[in-house]
């Protein structure tokens, strides 16, 4: 990884630039900071987890308030979801997505800023937290993430995770949106969930409560722990500071996109 991972290279900028909405021509105030520099400022905060107002002006990214406004504007335009979907399609075209199975997991993060989708942590109820519900393909590539309060049970988000996977193009035929099987631990054990997965022609591979774990499931799910850790290596996502849920989700989508981009670069595609 680069010693300055917030620098946007030309190849990544060529993917992102067409997605950004144009700035209004008659916008009041001074001339806006260049979009590429603002994006680098957002990435700096994502990697370094500093307060927006402490973004170093000498780096040329503009003020933290400027970058924050761009983040909000781009999220409202759906830029980060589009970016994630485009990179998934490129990975799919390169044969780097494993649709034979998907894995689900939930991970807690402290929510020091409070806000929507926060609640008492099951680990320490004196502290407020959120939970990232994640679904990955068989190789650990993030397909969809949902943020809820920390005390929301994993099982309640199972179908929302499945149905939230975007249609992924890149191969001959209709875009792919469903894995062949879904793997989960006992937190996802439910007859209703199994029934709904089968209706979607997805095989549920979920351990049952009160019974031994499915043989070999722990080896298959190691990719979940690995990719969850990769997502939370972005320091801004390891602890939630944004009170606004939409802005936090924007950073989560951006983090998922960066994981996809790194994997895409390894393929040379």
Q: Name the residue among 194, 187, 134, 140 with its Cα closest to residue 160.
A: 134
Q: What are the distances in angstroms from CA 65 to CA 8, 41, 42, 56, 113?
A: 20, 10, 10, 12, 17
pLDDT for residue 216: 61
Looking at the structure, tell me whether residues 143 and 47 fall in a common domain: no
Q: Are residues 103 and 193 in the same domain?
A: yes
What does the pLDDT read at residue 258?
A: 97
Residue keyed to tokens 């997991």: 105
What is the per-residue pLDDT across 134-181, written as a single tens digit (0 to 9) for each? Answer: 999 999 999 999 999 999 999 999 999 999 999 999 998 899 999 999
Reply yes or no on whether the pLDDT at 27 is more than 90.
no
Residue-wise pLDDT tens digits, 66-122: 999 999 999 999 999 999 999 999 999 999 999 999 999 899 999 988 899 999 988
Do residues 208 and 139 both lie within one domain?
Answer: yes
Q: Are residues 54 and 158 in the same domain?
A: no
The mean pLDDT value of the chain amounts to 90
User: Between residues 227 and 160, which one has the greater pLDDT?
Assistant: 160
Torsion angle, alpha carbons of 172, 177, 182, 188, to 10 = 180
> Do the Cβ atoms of 165 and 178 come closer than 8 Å?
yes
Q: Is the domain of 43 the same as that of 104?
A: no
Structural domain includes residue 103: yes
Is residue 182 within 8 A of residue 101, CB to CB? The reply is yes
Q: Rounded to whole angstroms, how far apart are CA atoms 250 and 239?
A: 15
- Which residue, among 179, 31, 175, has the nearest Cα to 101 in the 3D structure? 179
Q: Do 68 and 104 share a domain, yes or no?
A: no
Same domain, 123 and 226: yes
Return the percent helix, strand and coil in the chain, to nearest 5.
Answer: 45, 15, 40
pLDDT above 70 covers what percent of the chain? 92
Give the separation between CA 236 and CA 240, rounded to whole angstroms: 7
Please count the other Cβ atoms lying within 10 Å of the Cβ belonging to residue 227.
Answer: 21
Indicate if 105 and 231 belong to the same structural domain: yes
Yes or no: say if 38 and 67 are a contact pair by the CB < 8 Å rule.
yes
In a domain, 49, yes or no: yes
As to burial, measured by CB atoms within 10 angstroms (0-12 exposed, 13-18 middle, 19+ buried), residue 166 is middle
Residue 255 within any structural domain of the chain: no
Q: Please indicate, yes or no, whether residues 41 and 72 belong to a single structural domain of this protein.
A: yes
186 and 220 belong to one structural domain:
yes
Output the domain CATH number for residue 123: 3.30.420
Question: Is 215 a member of any domain?
Answer: yes
**pLDDT reading at 17 higher than 90:** yes
Residue 245 domain-assigned (yes or no): no
pLDDT of residue 238: 93
The per-residue pLDDT for 1 is 47
Give the three-class secondary structure for 209.
Answer: coil
Higher-confidence residue of 21 and 216: namely 21
Which residues are 240's β-sheet partners? 111
Domain assignment present for residue 4? The answer is no
Are 225 and 204 contacting, i.e. CB atoms less than 8 angstroms apart? no
Domain that holds residue 71: 10-22+31-76
Q: Per-residue b/e over 195-223, b at no fewer than 16 CB within 10 Å?
A: ebbeeeebebbbbeeeeeebeeeeeebeb
Name the pTM for this structure.
0.92
How far apart are alpha carbons 48 and 40 in whole angstroms? 12
User: According to the model, what pLDDT value does residue 60 have?
Assistant: 87
- In this structure, the answer to whether residues 143 and 210 fall within a common structural domain is yes
pLDDT of residue 217: 63
Residue 2 counted as domain residue: no
- 52 lies in the same domain as 167: no
Residue 219 above 60 pLDDT?
yes
How buried is residue 149: exposed, middle or buried, by Cβ count under 10 Å (0-12/13-18/19+)? Answer: middle
Q: How many domains does the chain have?
A: 2
Weakest mean pLDDT among 24-33, 66-75, 257-266: 24-33
Of 219, 266, 261, 221, the closest CA to residue 88 belongs to 261
141 domain residue, yes or no? yes
């Amino acid at each position: 990884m680069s010693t300055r991972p917030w620098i946007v290279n030309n190849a990544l900028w060529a993917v992102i630039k067409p997605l950004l909405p144009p700035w209004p021509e008659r916008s009041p105030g001074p001339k806006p900071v260049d979009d590429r520099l603002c994006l680098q400022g957002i990435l700096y905060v994502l990697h370094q987890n500093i307060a927006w107002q402490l973004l170093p002006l000498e780096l040329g990214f503009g003020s933290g308030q400027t970058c924050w406004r761009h983040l909000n504007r781009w999220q409202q335009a759906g830029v980060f979801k589009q970016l994630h979907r485009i990179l998934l399609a490129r990975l799919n075209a390169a044969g780097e997505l494993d649709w034979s199975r998907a894995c689900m997991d939930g991970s807690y993060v402290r929510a020091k800023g409070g806000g929507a989708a926060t609640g008492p942590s099951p680990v320490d109820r004196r502290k407020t937290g959120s939970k990232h519900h994640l679904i990955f393909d068989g190789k650990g590539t993030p397909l969809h993430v949902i943020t809820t309060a920390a005390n929301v049970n994993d099982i309640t988000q199972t179908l929302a995770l499945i149905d939230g996977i975007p249609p992924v193009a890149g191969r001959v035929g209709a875009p792919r949106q469903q894995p062949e099987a879904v793997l989960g631990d006992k937190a996802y054990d439910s007859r209703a969930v199994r029934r709904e997965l089968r209706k979607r022609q997805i095989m549920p591979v979920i351990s049952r409560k009160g019974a031994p774990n499915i043989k070999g499931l722990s080896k298959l799910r190691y990719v979940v722990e690995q990719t969850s850790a990769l997502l939370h290596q972005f320091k801004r996502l390891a602890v939630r500071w944004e009170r606004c849920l939409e802005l936090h989700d924007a950073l989560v989508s951006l983090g998922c996109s960066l994981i996809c981009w790194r994997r895409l670069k390894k393929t040379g595609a």
